[in-house]
């Protein structure tokens, strides 16, 4: 059964959701990150997608206190993204309690360094392959690299990379459904890698379709905050599994 991974995106320690990666179009929610994490754990969620949007635009994570709090108060496996652009940053994320580290900009711009980290940390590293206008986006989606999505993943085909989170930025936060064909083709191309769907999830029907297509993991963000998908929906899905 496809794994459900709720997302918590953070700016200045608060829960937010962007539309198409636009910081100006961000919406701040009243929910506290820890409260959200606890509510997910209570219904049986095992993995949390935690994104430091401040860190993504800078050279170092900016909201590690949030990570430390959630890691110390829950048993959730936490995948952290944002600001991991040096070995010091990577160590800080793991020291603060992350189970997995998502690396995007460093992988696209300095693939040799990311390969070195893959050798050292193995499956604890996740490739963040975010796509904007056909190219891989970097630095908090504020710019793009020359690489295409498949081209980026192939750079690490000779490593132990086993998880790629792919976000179609044009769909992110829009609640219009994900790019189904994109993810189906990626999963078929890279069968040995778990392709995690991210961006555009609007309903449980989207998740059901992704499972039918053979996808293995899906990140759910704004649909939860906007009550398109409820905690009860998630709990019932987990009980089926």
Cβ proximity of 66 and 35 under 8 Å: no
Q: Which of 185, 232, 229 is nearest to 7 (CA)?
A: 229
| Catalytically annotated residue among 130, 168, 172, 233 | 130
Query: Is 35 an active-site residue?
Result: no
Angle at 212 between CA 127 and CA 104, to 5 degrees: 10
Helix, strand or coil, per DSSP, at residue 174: coil
Distance between CA atoms of residues 187 and 196, nearest Å: 9
Residue 20: burial class (beta carbons within 10 Å; 0-12, 13-18, 19+): middle
9, 52, 54, 168: which is the annotated catalytic residue?
Answer: 9
Cα–Cα distance for residue pair 51/41, rounded to 1 Å: 18
Place of tokens 């961006």: 199
Q: How many CB atoms lie within 10 A of CB 143?
A: 12
**160 among known catalytic residues:** no
Which residues have a catalytic role annotated?
A: 9, 130
């Amino acid at each position: 059964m496809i794994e459900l991974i709720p997302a918590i995106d953070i700016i200045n320690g608060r829960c937010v959701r962007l539309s198409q990666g636009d910081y100006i179009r961000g919406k701040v929610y009243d929910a506290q990150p820890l409260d959200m994490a606890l509510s997910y754990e209570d219904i049986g969620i095992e993995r949390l997608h935690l994104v430091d949007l401040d860190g993504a635009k800078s050279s170092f994570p900016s909201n590690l206190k949030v990570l430390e709090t959630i890691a110390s108060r829950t048993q959730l496996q936490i995948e952290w993204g944002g600001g991991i652009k040096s070995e010091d940053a990577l160590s800080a994320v793991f020291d603060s309690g992350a189970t997995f580290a998502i690396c995007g900009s460093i992988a696209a711009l300095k693939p040799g360094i990311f390969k070195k980290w893959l050798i050292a940390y193995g499956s604890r590293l996740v490739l963040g392959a975010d796509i904007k206008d056909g190219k891989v986006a970097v630095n908090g989606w504020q710019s793009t690299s020359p690489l295409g999505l498949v081209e980026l993943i192939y750079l690490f085909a000779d490593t132990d990379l086993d998880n790629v989170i792919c976000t179609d930025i044009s769909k992110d936060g829009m609640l219009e459904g994900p790019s189904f064909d994109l993810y189906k083709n990626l999963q078929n191309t890279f069968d040995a890698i778990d392709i995690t769907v991210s961006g555009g999830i609007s309903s449980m029907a989207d998740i059901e379709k992704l499972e039918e297509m053979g996808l293995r993991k899906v990140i759910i963000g704004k649909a939860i905050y906007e009550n398109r998908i409820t905690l009860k929906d998630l709990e019932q899905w987990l009980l089926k599994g």
